[in-house]
């Protein structure tokens, strides 16, 4: 599903180079759920951006869905993101003046699909995340946890194979974070997704199948069971 070979990312900062990671190689099989952990600034977001072709690596290769991401043009990269990936961020980036169902429908509307066709699909995804009864509320009126559920439905309405989530529970209180993480885990299973989740929350990471830790330029795969519960 995803193959990363010898990946390196360096940012120039003033006179010195900041090496976020190098020699990073791993493969992810269909259906696997990988947590990416590491302190703030370790490079988790940058890695997710490279894997979704939003950013370029300094060296190395990424293969996903039979594509070599490094050699895609801007248009091809946008197409890859739209077709193959669903992205959830720490902040939901919903359009507050639009209703929940309109927000969920947005990726399909942006492709040019007709509202009559898209609305039932969006309602279906709202049901999937347990929010059907809130479909016609403006998203700005929903709670933080509900907004993140809407963002998940929006990420999945295009039926991507790869789900990328960057601190999806980072802005939520403990109980709400738990509910959203449990929802992600269920959607991952039921829709046979391959998922990568950057998280600060080690007890969530522990519940993923695999864990990649970024630490001061070193990357290693660790056993989920080695993390605190």
Is 91 near ligand ADP (CB under 6 A)? no
Least distance (Å) between residue 192 CB and Mg ion: 27
Alpha helix (H) residue ranges in 52-173: 74-84, 100-110, 115-128, 144-156
Tokens of 118: 């898209």
Within a 10 A sphere around the Cβ of 58, how many other Cβ atoms? 15
| Selected range binding Mg ion among 45-53, 113-121, 157-165, 189-197, rule: CB under 5 A | 45-53
Is 168 near ligand ADP (CB under 6 A)? no
Nearer to ligand ADP, 11 or 93 (CB): 11
Of 103, 133, 134, the C-alpha closest to 119 is 103
Nearer to ligand ADP, 45 or 103 (CB): 45
Tokens of 142: 């929903």
Query: Partners of 166 in the beta sheet?
Result: 198
CA–CA separation, 170 vs 229, rounded Å? 18
Binding mask 39-78 for ligand ADP (x = CB under 6 A): -xxxxxxx--------------------------------
Number of residues that bind Mg ion (CB under 5 A): 2
Least distance (Å) between residue 213 CB and ligand ADP: 11
Binding site partner of 37, from Mg ion, ligand ADP, none, Cβ cut-off 5-8 A by kind: none
Query: Partners of 2 in the beta sheet?
Result: 28, 64
CA–CA separation, 66 vs 63, rounded Å? 6
Residues that bind ligand ADP (CB under 6 A): 11, 20, 38, 40-46
């Amino acid at each position: 599903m995803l193959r990363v070979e010898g990946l390196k990312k360096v940012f120039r900062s003033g006179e010195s180079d900041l090496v976020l990671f190098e020699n990073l190689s791993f493969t992810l099989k269909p259906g696997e759920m990988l947590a990416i952990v590491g302190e703030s600034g370790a490079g988790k977001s940058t890695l997710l951006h490279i894997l979704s072709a939003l950013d370029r690596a300094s060296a190395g290769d990424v293969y996903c869905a039979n594509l070599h991401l490094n050699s895609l043009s801007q248009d091809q990269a946008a197409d890859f993101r739209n077709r193959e990936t669903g992205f959830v961020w720490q902040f939901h980036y919903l359009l507050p003046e639009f209703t929940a169902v309109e927000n969920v429908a947005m990726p399909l509307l942006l492709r040019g699909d007709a509202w009559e066709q898209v609305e039932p699909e969006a309602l279906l995804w709202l049901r999937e995340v347990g929010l059907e009864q809130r479909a016609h509320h403006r998203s700005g009126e929903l709670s933080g946890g509900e907004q993140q559920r809407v963002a998940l439905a929006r990420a999945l309405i295009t039926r991507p194979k790869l789900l990328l989530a960057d601190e999806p529970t980072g802005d939520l209180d403990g109980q709400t974070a738990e509910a959203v993480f449990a929802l992600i885990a269920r959607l991952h299973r039921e829709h046979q997704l391959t998922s990568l989740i950057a998280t600060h929350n080690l007890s969530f990471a522990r519940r993923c199948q695999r864990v990649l830790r970024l630490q001061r330029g070193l990357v290693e795969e660790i056993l989920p069971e080695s993390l605190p519960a």
